[in-house]
Chains A and B, each alone.
Chain A
Amino acid sequence: MIRLNLVLLVAVLASAFYLVHTQYESRRLYTAIDKANAQARRLEADHEQLQVQKRAQATPARVQQLAARQLQMRPVTPGITEYVTLVPQADASAQEGVGQ
């Protein structure tokens, strides 16, 4: 009888310790997830910041200025443009088929 009680006592103690350990582990992991989420948000914010910066470097105002000053370019006019009309063959024949 006593032996059985001892075994049960050990079992209860083991279970209790394991419970404490699991609880601790779960909280530790939760903290880790939370930190990772925070980092994800930070990286997202950084990404947005970089995108805005990239865009700020490529605004028409800046492009125009650089093209005119550094590359001596000027705005395009129809006088210096060669216009090419692309006739999509497949589309044209398909439309003919519909038309008939």
Chain B
Amino acid sequence: MSNVRHRGINYSASPLLASKTPVWRSKFVVATLALAFAGLGARAAYVQVFGNEFFQRQGEVRFARTLELPANRGRVLDRNGLILASSVVAQSIWAIPEDVDKAHPKLRDLAKLLEMPLPELKKKLANEDKTFVWVKRQVDEPIAKQIAALDIKGIYQRREYKRQYPEGEAAAHVVGFTNVEDRGQEGVELAFNKQLAGKAGSRRVIKDRLGRVIEDVRDVIPPVDGPDLQLSIDSKVQYFAYEKLKDAVKNHKAKAGSVVVLDAQTGEVLALANYPSYNPNKRVNLSGEQLRNRVLTDSFEPGSTMKPFIAALALDKGLVKPTSQIQTAPGRISIGGSTISDAHPHGVLSVNEIIQKSSNVGTVKMAMQMHPREMWETYAQAGFGQKPQVPFPGAVTGRLRPYKTWRPIEQATMSYGYGLSVSLFQLAQAYTIFARNGELIPVSMVKAETPATGVRVFSEKNAVSVRKMLELATGPGGTAPKAQTMGYSVGGKTGTAHKQEGKSYAANKYRSFFVGLAPVESPRVIVAVMIDEPSNGEYFGGLVAAPVFSETVQQTLRVLGVQPDMNVKPQIVTEAVEESF
């Protein structure tokens, strides 16, 4: 044995097979293997213990994905639950320019489907450095399907949401619109953007080789859809108001017009329309004129529509009674060197008649018996010079200067609506005072469940008296007999104001308006109409704006199911008449 050990390792018992391998070689092999194992062990320790986090992360990057779960934007509904705005799926077309064959014969078809000139399409695909290019966003579903059928390499589609506005231009200014990123830009879409948007959720998943989701890594964060928003708007009333306004603006060759309809019981806005308008579904070449929500963003001198407030204040202060006689002859009055005159001179008028015939002189005589502070307080209480409490973008405050700066002539002109500015919306809201027996009620764009509670401005008795005067103004001998409507008693006040241009008044540019309520006994609606620069000969509010009021009131009360309070000669044909062609 000792011999053998000296000679080397013995692999066999037979001396014939005795190897002559030196010992160091086997030792070397053992050591090498041991070292290799140690290396493996060290590597394993490194991967699993020291570098664990890094390798875990790298692994996850290769198969785990975070998916965003987009939230649906809430719908905008009218008061009866009809859709005014809703999101629908639209495909957006995108491309990897490098992958697209520029000479592909089907590119021509693609350009046609996208309503895009071929050179423009090619220009978009020209930049090969980019790996992602939008070709066209939010394409309608049928067209997207045809594009998918073309099957051009490098052209892909991605699901996005697009807002649809079925009501079109009639409700455009109320509803507004969103941009391509689904963010509100105008109207209610902007005002309630946060509420409507909802909150996107996410999930972390493991995907397999084919891109299929096979496992959720952690709990899913579910998306929170934006809740539906129910407005106070009645789409039928809105449509009628818009149509009548549009007709009037066209007939009188006016620049623009606005109308607003309020529910006198709840303070809800039933309709709010402007012309010119736009179609929110096709927003190309939009002008500022079309976009402007004049009801809220335009302020103007309210003119004669202020007179009822002066009359009511004079009654409240006990300065006059509805039948008190006031001398308005010779149709002129001089205050601080300036002369105020009536359009048509009258003689002795009662307070009733001053409102009925819209006498400037009579109104000024009442106003000059008051302290400027009292007038200012009444105007401020009526909401003039105050920001309207509606969450609408761009709603103006109007202008009502502090009474301490009023000169006597300014107090006089302010009594018949010059020297202050208001928006049509403020004017309509202010008239809730007369509709609600002396209380101003808050106005809401969102459907209200309960009747509004108001703030008292005038006593009930005096507010009702003024309402009677407003009725007289629309009767025979008043300024606006054209405001009358079949079946319903109406009351209201016309206004015709010279338009200001720079610092002076334009000679023949007018703004005609009419604010009124109906039925007079227990008012249900308030309608305010404004026509900007009628230029077809007629410009008095009683001729231009009052007919719009009349037709709007008629349709609104019918839609609301209000029974006529006046006798109507029935026109129902009882006998069947043979039809003729």
User: CB within 8 Å of B: which residues of A?
Assistant: 27, 30-31, 34, 42, 45-46, 48-49, 51-52, 55-56, 59-61, 64, 75-83, 85
Contact = CB atoms under 8 A, between A and B. Distances in A.
Interface string B389-418: 000000000000000000000000000000
B236 A60 contact: yes
A12 to B, nearest CB: 24
Contact of B215 (A27, A76, A85): A27
A47 to B, nearest CB: 10
Contacts of B83: 51-52, 55
Contact of B88 (A42, A45, A75, A81): A45
B87 A48 contact: yes
Sorted nearest first, the 10 A-B pairs with minimum C-beta distance are A78-B487, A60-B239, A56-B166, A27-B214, A79-B571, A49-B88, A45-B89, A78-B564, A55-B166, A34-B213
A48 B166 CA distance: 13
Nearest to A79: B571
Contacts of B569: 79
Contacts of B238: 60
Q: Interface residues of B: mostly helix, strand, loop or mixed?
A: mixed
Nearest to B210: A31
Contact of B568 (A48, A60, A78): A78
B572 A27 contact: no
22 contacts: A30-B214, A30-B215, A31-B213, A34-B213, A46-B89, A48-B86, A49-B141, A51-B86, A55-B83, A56-B166, A59-B166, A59-B168, A60-B240, A61-B168, A61-B243, A76-B558, A77-B571, A78-B487, A78-B558, A79-B570, A80-B571, A80-B572
A99 B240 CA distance: 42
B170 interface: yes
B161 to A, nearest CB: 8
B419 to A, nearest CB: 41
Given A77-B486, A83-B563, A52 B88 contact: yes
B343 interface: no
B353 to A, nearest CB: 29
Contacts of A30: 213-215
A55 B83 CA distance: 7
B503 interface: no
A28 to B, nearest CB: 8
Given A77-B486, A78-B486, A31 B214 contact: yes
